[in-house]
Amino acid sequence: MTKTTRKIPAPTPLEDSRDFWEGAARGELMLKHCEACGRAHHYPRARCPHCFSDRTMWRQASGRGTVYSWTIMRRAPQPYTLAYVELDEGPRMLTNLVGFAPDAIEIGAAVEVVFEPTEGGPPVPMFRPAGHD
């Protein structure tokens, strides 16, 4: 199973995150990169959180990473897995895991992005086990 069964509300793109959500609609995970220090960052913002430069630009990320930490949200009407994924580009992203059996999730597990549909908005990036078809 790679698709979530719960309904996901549509995000409301803001000016700073518009390119992120447009990328998601194309099936691309977009990250901000700083031209001054060369580091990637997430969540999207105009200034680099590492060196405070305003010389940031959007680049497509690999869509790969590893599970940094996770928890199962059991009190929700339909339980789901919330996780921090450390992207290959460096930033950690708060996201959901899909396609894992709860007892199979391990810190350090390789994951890849998958875009889950929302209720009338752009799809949301989530992560599944790497190499999953």
Q: In order of start, what are the domains of the chain with their CATH numbers?
A: 15-129 (2.40.50.840)
CA distances to 17, 33, 53, 57, 93 from 48, rounded to whole Å, are 14, 8, 5, 10, 16
pTM for the whole structure:
0.90
36-42: average pLDDT: 96
**β 110-116/124-129 pair status:** antiparallel
Percent of the chain, pLDDT > 70? 95
